[in-house]
Structure 1
Amino acid sequence: MLSHIQAKLLIVDDLPENLVALEALIKADDREVYQAQSADQALGLLLEHEFALAILDVQMPGMNGFELAELMRGTEKTKNIPIVFVSAAAREMNYAFKGYESGAVDFLHKPLDTHAVKSKVAVFVDLFRQRKALDQQLQALERSRQEQELLLAQLQVARGELEHAVRMRDDFMSIVSHEVRTPLNGLILETQLRKLHLARDNADAFTLDKMRAMVERDERQINSLIRLIEDMLDVSRIRTGKLSIRPSQFDLSQLVTGLVENFAAQARAADCNLELEINAPVVGVWDEFRIEQVIANLLTNALRYGSKRPVQVRVQEADGMACVEVRDHGIGISEANQQRIFQQFERVSSSQSTAGLGLGLYISEQIVLAHGGSIRVNSAEGQGATFVVRLPLVRDTRENTQQQATSA
């Protein structure tokens, strides 16, 4: 069963005829026999090959068999090779004793007993093959153990990711249910109040001024629900690579000016002033709806976390890029949280407010990246935050071509 493992045998004798005779005695198809006529030649072979057995003649000119054995026992590569000594000297106990003392496993006398030599060599060849097979099994077991450890580590990582995903899902569902319930509760309360007035035939509750206020309240609650739904849809689009970008040329300065005007009522409700700095038009080709979404999210966050202090907004060109800065003077963001806030469902803890799904900055960053731009934050706890959006300043080439043709 182990015959596929080739066994190498080394025979060392200074007489060629002894080498030929011994090789004829021990050779087989599943064995390789190497000959050496001196200890020096044998050392070269020992360092080059892995032998199952070394058969050494004791009496050789120069370095004898005992000295060669001592060198073999002192070398890491050869110290475990079984050694059998062969001698034509008389059967003197001191020779055999010296042989065993040198590390031999057996001592043979010439003339050799053919049957004894064959059976002894066969024993050591079998032992060698068994040891090699055991080494291979141990190596296979070690590889299997390493693979199992790697698999276990991967499973632990996957388990951690799964647990994190489950926590995120649970947190998300909790946040969604809370955020959806808030505007719905407002609408339900408004509806119940109106039903009560109708049941009591209270026409004074439905004057034009009161109706306008009701409609405004309903609109705010409905818009809040729409924003929540759109945020969730955008996350789904981003994950599937289907976030649509429809670029067209427009003036970014004009867009931001309009947004700041639209946020005036929200700023008053937050008891905060919006300050706008624009020196010139900043025209480029971007998706106007998506860029408006980004800037609106930054303004909302600045008012939410700005601690009722002024919020500065600046639009400018710098280094061939369009730049929008939104700066507040509120609670600020710790360095550890500055990367986290751009992840899904992450929000900055605040005693003032934790409204929202924690998707705004994640969606904003994906939109900006889709335009080839960048968004970053500079902040420190208690020192406010400055969000900077940079967009490549690309012009509408078709319009430029038409202008050049007209000039020509």
Structure 2
Amino acid sequence: MAKIVVISGIAYVGICEWKETKAREMEVRMINRKKHEINDIYVKMLRLSFFCETFMEWSEQDFLSFQKRRRHIDSLLCSLRYSSSGSHTDSIRNLWRAKERYMREIIYWVHRQEEADREIAAQIPAFARQSERENAPKGGFLKRLFAKRHKADSPSAASMLHELNRSVVGRQQAYARKLAERTDSLDGMNRRLNVQLRQMIENMDGTVQAELKRQEEEVAEAGKRSFATVIGLTAFMVLLLIWSYMVIHRDMMRINRYKKRLEGTVRQLEQTVLENEELIEARKKIMLAVTHDLRAPLASISSYAELLSTEREVSKCREYSRNIRQVAGHMSSMLNSLLGFFRLESGGEKAVPVPFRLCSVTEILETDFMPLAAGKNLLLNVLSAGDAVVIGDRDRIIQIGSNLLSNAIKFTERGSVTVRTQFDQGVLTLIVEDTGTGMDDEEQTRIFTAFERLPNAIAEEGVGLGLSIVKGLVGLLDGRIEVASRKGVGSRFTVCLPLAVAEETMAESGRSRISVRSYTVLVLDNDTVLLAAIREMFAYHGVACTVCENTRDLMEHVRSRSYDLLITDLKMPRTNGFEVLKLLRMANVGNSRSIPVIASTASGNCDTGDLYAAGFSGCLKKPFSAEELLQVCTECLGSERQSEQIDLDALLKYGNRRKMLDTLIRETRKDMEAMAECAEKNDHEALKEWIHHLTGSWEIIHAGKPLRELFALLQDSGEFSVDEFGRTVQQVLEKGKEIICLAQQAKKAYESNCC
């Protein structure tokens, strides 16, 4: 496009310049032709003037030639009068015509003189003869007599000649006078003609000079114009080149970006292929590991279960039951390791920072692993960093130490295992050393790979995920891990984790348990074994539990009585937990619209926030213990039974209390204004997004009930009245005002305590 514009511009300028040049050449040719015509006329008039100098000797043919040449000059002057001063050309033409007339008159009078001369010449012989007669000799008397009388009667020749001479002289004088007048007039006319010719030449020369000067000025102006055009065109071309360069550079950058993106995509695809190959290999390893490591526990459980069915001795039955629980715990540990690994790989795990004492980490590790070390006659050295109070994910740190200590004890046959913690400048350093088999450099590069088992670990229990989970947890906590090992000497693992120092007033990390109260629970799951286990767990703690395997039985139970709590599996063959929740909220059976619903799932990538936004009151991750089951139920029922008493302490445990309160007041006010605007516009989708946004934080402070009710109402697909919708939205707005009011009161109390 730029080339077309440049070529078009150059062609346009070239054509314009060519037209101007042709026009100037045409004007110059016209001026030259005019000069040539003037010079030609001037030369012809000069030649004609020179020719007129001998007009006294002209013949009739010469005079005709003069007339022809004079008419030719007259026609030239006539054509010239339209391109120059017409008065001068007309005067010259009139002068030439007058000159011709005067020349004719002069010739006429010259011819008259010649006629007079011829007349005299013709009469002179007659006068001579007469004079001869008068001078003849005298005769007789009679002759003399008669002769004398004759003399007296006729004039003499002399008198006649004298008279003729006087007459001729008079005419000649008259002719000469006429001729002199005409000659003078002709001279004057020649002078005027010369003056007119000179003026005409001067005028025409001035005109030509003016034209030439104008042409020079136009040429100069055209040169300036051309220069300006060239400069403008050059500047335009430079700008166009710059623009073209920028466009080309942008396109090249875009192409390079596309190329890099394509190369990145190719690399990603190659990496994906490698990862897929690794996943296939890992799947083979996990299948081999799981089938191998679960086969023996399952065989043991099957054997002990068979023995239980036939054993009558109580002590033996208890021993078999204890062994079954131990084997089941081992299987649960393996499955938890697998689930934890997959949750880390999928990004489903989140750090949960809480205030705790550093010494509690080493105390728990020492308590858990001292028996294992003593069982192998190993010395377990535990060195604590002190009693500092920090904020971090205590459970994950303990899990990291547990995995490292478990491996250290597992691969150490004699000597000692040392665990040491250090805390300096906000960094916790956890060091685990052993005097075990050790590793070479090649083995050290493989230990963090999932399902990778070194030759010395083939005979040991496990699936090869311990160090992979450790690496994932360290990355989750923004830390780093280092390993140093020598074959046959031992290994040392060093973990560095950033931790913030907590205020002493927040040092209590124990979580207050809500006491188990008498309540009724309805459980929906397609796994009959799990249903039986849940029912027994609840029964052991005095909780009434009803189980069902399908939604038809569920609705029958809900219709028959009001339950305090419902636990439903998220994934079932014919339905799922979301559909069950929707069915309950849409049905007007018993307390189906208000019963708290807990989602039970074995999925490692399930987002708790999404569950809360959908309307669930809690989440129970499989596999779970009786304590975990009761903890989730009591937390859910506790928040419901406390009539949504807002508790801000759950939000204010960490960080600066004043800033947290200011942020809570400001953001809650903005959120309530936005929800009120969405409700006024009946924008249900926007309201669902706001519910999803607020549910997480409101559930923490036990204020999520209005949000759940509004979400359940919106899930009815518009099957609700305007009054019901307005009332439910108003409850949410009132709850927001209550949160703001409580936050302002807490802020005032905090400021007064600080003062």
TM-score band, normalised by shorter chain? 0.5 to 0.7
- 1:231 equivalenced with 2:349 (yes/no): no
Aligned residue pairs, count: 251
Match of 2:437 among 328, 331, 334: 331
- 1:340 equivalenced with 2:441 (yes/no): no
Aligned CA distance change for structure 1 residues 158 and 363 (closer, same or farther; 3 Å): closer
Aligned to 2:476: 370
Aligned CA distance change for structure 1 residues 293 and 182 (closer, same or farther; 3 Å): farther
Aligned to 2:284: 170
Aligned CA distance change for structure 1 residues 154 and 326 (closer, same or farther; 3 Å): closer
Q: CA deviation at 1:316?
A: 1.6
Match of 2:401 among 285, 295, 301: 295
Give the counterpart letter for 2:368 in structure 1.
N
Give the counterpart letter for 1:382 in structure 2.
G
Does the 8 Å contact 2:311/2:317 carry over to 1?
Answer: no
- 1:262 equivalenced with 2:368 (yes/no): yes
For residues 154 and 255 of structure 1, the distance between their equivalents in structure 2, rounded to whole angstroms, comes to: 40
Higher Cα radius of gyration: 2
What is the correspondence of 1:126-145 to structure 2 with a 5 Å cutoff? Answer: none
Does the 8 Å contact 1:283/1:393 carry over to 2?
Answer: no
Aligned CA distance change for structure 1 residues 271 and 367 (closer, same or farther; 3 Å): same
Q: Which has the higher helix share?
A: 2
Aligned to 2:487: 381
Query: CA deviation digits over 1:316-353, x for unaligned, max 9?
Result: 21343111111110001211122321121112321683
Q: CA deviation at 1:265?
A: 2.4
For residues 316 and 157 of structure 1, the distance between their equivalents in structure 2, rounded to whole angstroms, comes to: 38
Does the 8 Å contact 1:305/1:353 carry over to 2?
Answer: no
For the residue of structure 2 that corresponds to 1:340, the secondary structure is: coil
For the residue of structure 2 that corresponds to 1:187, the secondary structure is: helix
For residues 284 and 163 of structure 1, the distance between their equivalents in structure 2, rounded to whole angstroms, comes to: 42
Query: CA deviation digits over 1:93-113, x for unaligned, max 9?
Result: xxxxxxxxxxxxxxxxxxxxx
Does the 8 Å contact 1:304/1:353 carry over to 2?
Answer: no
Aligned to 1:271: 377
Aligned CA distance change for structure 1 residues 338 and 195 (closer, same or farther; 3 Å): same
Does the 8 Å contact 1:176/1:357 carry over to 2?
Answer: yes
TM-score (ref. length: structure 1): 0.55
Aligned CA distance change for structure 1 residues 321 and 159 (closer, same or farther; 3 Å): closer
Does the 8 Å contact 1:250/1:283 carry over to 2?
Answer: yes
Does the 8 Å contact 1:282/1:322 carry over to 2?
Answer: no
Match of 1:322 among 407, 428, 433: 428
Aligned to 2:570: none
TM-score (ref. length: structure 2): 0.31
Query: CA deviation digits over 1:68-119, x for unaligned, max 9?
Result: xxxxxxxxxxxxxxxxxxxxxxxxxxxxxxxxxxxxxxxxxxxxxxxxxxxx
Does the 8 Å contact 1:282/1:316 carry over to 2?
Answer: no
Q: CA deviation at 1:169?
A: 1.5
Does the 8 Å contact 1:337/1:348 carry over to 2?
Answer: yes
For residues 494 and 463 of structure 2, the distance between their equivalents in structure 1, rounded to whole angstroms, comes to: 22
Aligned to 1:311: 417
Query: CA deviation digits over 1:288-327, x for unaligned, max 9?
Result: 2222211111111011001232111111213431111111
Match of 1:183 among 277, 297, 307: 297
Match of 2:306 among 192, 200, 220: 192
Identity of aligned residues (%): 27
Does the 8 Å contact 1:343/1:362 carry over to 2?
Answer: yes
Aligned to 1:251: 357
Does the 8 Å contact 1:348/1:354 carry over to 2?
Answer: no
Give the counterpart letter for 1:181 in structure 2.
R
Give the counterpart letter for 1:390 in structure 2.
C
Aligned to 2:327: 221
For residues 254 and 344 of structure 1, the distance between their equivalents in structure 2, rounded to whole angstroms, comes to: 30
Match of 1:349 among 450, 455, 476: 455
Q: CA deviation at 1:395?
A: 2.6
For residues 401 and 334 of structure 1, the distance between their equivalents in structure 2, rounded to whole angstroms, comes to: 48
Structure 1: which 5+ residue stretches go unaligned? 1-150
Higher relative contact order (CA 8 A, sep 6+): 1
Give the counterpart letter for 1:338 in structure 2.
Q
For residues 155 and 271 of structure 1, the distance between their equivalents in structure 2, rounded to whole angstroms, comes to: 51
Structure 2: which 5+ residue stretches go unaligned? 1-264, 504-652, 659-749
For residues 154 and 289 of structure 1, the distance between their equivalents in structure 2, rounded to whole angstroms, comes to: 35
